[in-house]
Amino acid sequence: MQASLSNGGQAPVSKGRVLGAGRPDSQPTNQEAGPFAQARWRTSGPGKGTCPWAAGRGRKRAAGARLMEAQNGSGAAGEGPSAGAEARPAATPEGMALAYASLVLMALLPIFFCAVRSVCCAKLRWNASDMPETITSRDAARFPIVASCTLLGLYLFFKIFSQEYINLLLSMYFFVLGILALSHTISPVMNKFFPANFPNKQYQLLFTQGSGETKEEIVNYEFDTKDLVCLAMSSVVGVWYLLRKHWIANNLFGLAFSLNGVELLHLNNVSTGCILLGGLFVYDIFWVRTH
């Protein structure tokens, strides 16, 4: 379709040629457009005489150039050995000694307190004619295999199901078990701080199976009000762990698991301990170091 505009006797042009469609970066000539297109070109853009198409592309090129300069500047600022050396303070002999001493204490003190509580727990059970549960050589040899199967199953769960649901399930699992383990750990210590006139009441949680002569106890757990107070205090740490995933709450739960594990499980002889430690050594090398 041809336009009927005329420009001082010039030949009419088509709409496709209006506004310099053939040459977007140049000013439309009299041959390409009429006076209407020339007036529109002169009044467009940031200033008079500026082509709107060229101005838009110029602004984009300038923004891209500034972005590239900013990226190159930030990359150059982070390059070189001096950048990391300036941000990290130099290690001092006193700081290194403090760090190594903290690591040694954090490794030895839990073992010491675990051993003390294990002996005390065993004495209480022997006095009550209740022999503690012991780990046999067969159980010790089976433990790394069971742990490996559990870790492999967890890996498959991560591959099959969504990672968000697995993380939520593990968080709730450690939340519940961590609260119970921490409550059992701090209970003997907190009992010394309760006053003598504290209203302490006894409770019993009993689950049985069957009735009459075939009645069998499944769970028989006795606790008191002091234990409930310790459970409430441990729940605060559990909520802190569930919401923040703070490393202090995580370490408190790990320490509680270790104390309860060493306290409640006993070895019948030294060879059982060697088998258990040897199996866990291979387990750690295979699953942790090589994967």
Has residue 174 got a pLDDT over 70? yes
Task: Retrieve residue 3's tokens.
Answer: 């336009």
Q: Output DSSP code: residue 289.
A: I
Report yes or no on 97 lying in a domain: no
Q: What is the largest CA-CA distance in the chain?
A: 122
**Structural domain tally of the chain?**
1
DSSP H helical ranges for 191-211: none
Tell me if 126 is assigned to some domain: no
Tell me which DSSP letter residue 285 carries: I
**Distance of alpha carbon 174 from its chain centroid, rounded?**
14
pLDDT band for position 15 (cuts 50, 70, 90)? very low
Contact 218, 209 (CB under 8 A): yes
Domain annotation covers residue 150 = no
The 3-state DSSP class for residue 85 equals helix
What is the domain extent for residue 241?
161-209+222-289
Residue 86 in domain: no
Please enumerate in sequence order all residues whose Cβ is within 8 A of that of 265, keeping only pairs 6 or more positions apart, or say none: 133, 134, 135
- Which SS3 state, helix, strand or coil, does residue 24 take? coil
**Residue 153 belongs to a domain:** no
CA–CA distance, 291 with 281 (Å, rounded to integer): 15
Q: What angle do CA 123, 125, 126 make, to 5 degrees?
A: 65
Q: Can you read off the two tokens belonging to residue 262?
A: 């060493």
Question: CA-to-CA distance for 147 and 150, rounded, in angstroms?
Answer: 5
Give me the helix-helix angle, 247-264 and 93-127, nearest 10°. Answer: 40
Tell me: pLDDT of 130 over 60. Answer: yes
CA distance 145 to 143: 5
Residue 14 located in a structural domain = no
Residue whose structure tokens are 């790394």: 144
Instruction: Grade residue 60 by pLDDT with cuts at 50, 70 and 90.
Output: low
Q: Is the pTM of this model over 0.75?
A: no
DSSP code of residue 215: -
Distance between start and end Cα atoms, the chain: 72
77-105 pLDDT tens trace: 444 444 444 567 788 888 899 989 988 98
Position 70 pLDDT exceeds 70? no
Task: Please indicate, yes or no, if residue 13 is contained in any of the structural domains.
Answer: no
As a whole number of angstroms, the distance between CA 236 and CA 183 comes to 11
> In this structure, is residue 37 part of a structural domain?
no
| Residue range 114-137: mean pLDDT, rounded | 76
Query: What tens digit of pLDDT does each residue of 240-264 get?
Result: 999 988 988 998 998 899 888 888 7
Residue 26, amino acid? S
What's the whole-number mean pLDDT along residues 223-250?
Answer: 92
Q: Please return the burial class of 277, using the count of CB atoms within 10 Å of its CB with bins 0-12, 13-18 and 19+.
A: exposed
> With the CA atoms of 248, 254, 259 and 265 taken in that order, what torsion angle do they form, in degrees rounded to the nearest 10?
170
